A and B are shown apart, each in its own frame.
Chain A
Amino acid sequence: MKMTNKRAQKRASAKASTTNVSKFAPAKAVAGGKSAVKFEYAPSLESTDIVQIEKRNRLFIGGKFVEPTSGRYFPTINPATGERLAEVAEANEKDVDLAVKTARQAYEQIWSKMSGKERGRYLFRIARLIQERARELAVLETMDNGKPIRESRDIDVPLVAAHFFYHAGWADKLEYAFPGQSIAPLGVVGQVIPWNFPLLMAAWKIAPALACGNTVVLKPAETTSLSALLLAQIFQDAGLPEGVVNIVTGAGATGAALVNHPDINKVAFTGSTEVGKIIARAVAGTKKRLTLELGGKSAHIIFEDAALDQALEGVINGIYFNQGHVCCAGSRLLLEESIANDFVEKLKKRIAQLRVGNPLDKNTDIGAINSEAELKKIGKLIQLGKDEGGEFFEPKCALPEKGYFQRPCFFSNVSSSFTLSRVEIFGPVLAVSTFRTAQEAVVKANDTPYGLAAGVWSEKGAKIHKVAGQLKAGVVWANTYNKFDPSAPFGGYNESGWGREGGRHGLSAYLDVRGK
């Protein structure tokens, strides 16, 4: 996909320089020809003084921090430096069993007997404490996960508080959520969450479970346990009854012990489709309920009649938000042929402006990849894309010497058969292809086993509604992307999972709803 029309290029870039006001707004090369001006930013580091990290982080069971029975701990790394932040307890089957027993007891003796009004009060209180300790949570999240402080501070943590606040209000109104039907909590729920939004996923899981009257055993991802354990301190401070939420840290074996524990009533999992299928098979012969938020390969469709500069920002936000570690990332860009060349040139300029580096720097757009293993996996898939014949572009920005970093990049001239178009990369890698008609765009967008999200950009309302209706995806962002809200149901079609999280629809995942 080569730019041939120099005048169009010039026009496009001149327009970009005058109207392209972005929240990222990093060093902007004003490209009106020869006189490119480049602004440099001085580092603006967020202080880590606010965070105190324990050297050894124990399990949270029955309202207390307890040693794992094995006595084993594993390190957790700051991916921006590669240095060890702390040690985290490894829960084995015995620990998980204790956590489930404790949750069962708390369910039977306290939480299921408590009025919805009172449950709600605890959740409101937790929401407030999260807001009060917001900066501390954000800094810790960035240190353990590698995501830019701008995102953890402005997106993750405010959404975490909002989720608790939203669900707090449901606790005493559940009967109105399902009129005419009888509802009951499920009991003890086992929840396994990923490393890409450690705190936010904990909130998405814990808040509705508690509002609906269940008790919880949560397993955070092994590379990002710290913020969930800080949340546990907040539960203590809020006076949440002991055992209502239990947190067992560890890797896959800990998660398997939780999922396979005979005394949990429900499993909620967010993570890869591969693991989701294993879990689905594991609980197939049981009475356990199951909801899954899995992978995606979401299409981002740009029509020629879109507001292209806004669409460009949407594309950037869609794929490079959180280093692309987003299940609903807009990882397949579908461009209408007539604008494809211009758009790709704009994209090249725009990603050259993204700042990759220290996630604690408030100017950073793209932080660290969460782990060495993920960085290697992304690298392999990029190499595969090159081997399969994709046209690769990445900016020439410098990367920090230490830590795990990946430049934002994209492949153009990608066809649907490329691995890049089919496999979830979970990194800042975009696959660009083109289409000629709306129908072709829809067919290409739906040509995937996933169905989590999609984006569509056009200034024509009728076209937006028609295309949005035809996309087989649980979330469609029209003229926007990656917007989240506790009141808006989120979840996928097909291999992207089962059930919805958020809104009234998300409640049914934590309730037994029956016709009266």
Chain B
Amino acid sequence: MDKRNLRVPKTIKLFIGGEFPRTESGRSFPAYEHGTQKVFAHLCRASRKDFRNAVTAALSARAEWERRSAYNRAQIIYRMAEMTEGHREEMVSVMEKVGGVSARDAHLAVDEVIDAFVYYAGFADKFSQLSGCVNPVSGPHHAFTTPEPVGCVAMIFDDDDGAVTALPTVIATMASIIASGNVVTMLLPGAVAPLLAPLAEIFATSDLPKGVVNLLTGHRSELLEHFASHMEVQSISYVGSDNTVREKLKTLGAENMKRVVCFESKDGAQNGDINIGLERIASFVEFKTVWHPIGH
């Protein structure tokens, strides 16, 4: 073996508040190269504390991201598409090595990721006009209703899908949520977890304010109830079909009346259908009605 190419199996760290910390728990789990026992990399097994830190980071980015103009949010999400192009080879190689995916399919998955970023970039300054309105109230008042971001959204996925399906689903779901000004903390599904490093680099280099997107890897079974019961998380996005997970999220989430939004992965947030896109965005907003008298 050529010594210059000696591979050091690194630990892929978490992405919290724009930084790359190790899990505070010091725990990790291996990701193997496809079909082998060869360690591709160690991934952090995030703890409850890591999740809470990620939510704190998200909440401190909330006001800043909400305040950005829709045009600015659109530009930043579009920038993510551009940065994804730059990380294409790395992502394809990880999907090939760990996911056992053909290069062609891996490239198609990256294409879909880029499509999703571009699609929701273009939506950031449209959904408000599509879903808001002026209300014809009887009386001398101007009353209008506009969508506003719900706040901090915790994102959870099923682990069933391979990287080719899971990666675009994760990105499209996330893009639909941050397009309206929400901040997110997500636990990457198993097939996407080994891609944390290139994904985090995309977010870290797109002018996205630190903390708007936070990425965790770990065991869903041990983090699920913490996601559901955190009192400062306003909403949960669950993409998957496990009824036990749904019930647990809704039951524990009721403590602070979280909006638990469930989609099946086959619903396809990334297919470019405007109605599905709008539905996705509208699932993570609050409608605010403002009244003001008309007179002098």
Residues of A bordering B, CB below 8 Å: 162, 180-181, 273, 276-277, 280-281, 284-285, 292, 294, 449, 451, 464, 468-469, 472-480, 483, 485, 487-491, 493-498, 500, 503-505, 513-516
Contact = CB atoms under 8 A, between A and B. Distances in A.
Contact of B291 (A294, A475, A515): A475
A281 B138 contact: no
Contacts of A280: 250, 253-254, 257
B139 A485 contact: yes
A514 to B, nearest CB: 8
B138 A162 contact: yes
A479 B133 contact: no
Interface centre among B145, B255, B288, B292 (most CB of A within 10 A): B288
A479 B251 contact: no
Contacts of B257: 273, 276-277, 280, 292, 294, 494-498
A285 B136 CA distance: 39
B279 interface: yes
A286 to B, nearest CB: 9
Contacts of A490: 289
Say which size band chain B's interface belongs to.
Answer: 35 or more
Contact of A485 (B138, B256, B292): B138
A468 B291 CA distance: 10
A488 B292 contact: no
- Shortest beta-carbon contacts, A-B, top 6: A284-B250, A515-B275, A280-B254, A485-B137, A285-B247, A515-B276
B291 A477 contact: yes
B289 A488 contact: yes
Given A475-B288, A483-B291, A490-B289, A180 B274 contact: yes
B143 interface: yes
A464 B290 CA distance: 10
B19 interface: no
B292 A478 contact: yes
B286 interface: yes
A497 B141 CA distance: 25
A294 B256 CA distance: 12
A483 B140 CA distance: 11
B293 interface: yes
A475 B290 CA distance: 6
A494 B254 contact: no
Contacts of B259: 498
B287 interface: yes
B243 interface: yes
Contacts of A285: 243, 246-247, 250-251
Given A476-B290, A493-B150, 12 more contacts: A180-B275, A273-B257, A281-B254, A284-B250, A469-B148, A473-B288, A474-B289, A480-B291, A483-B291, A485-B135, A488-B135, A495-B257
Contact of A513 (B133, B145, B279, B287): B279
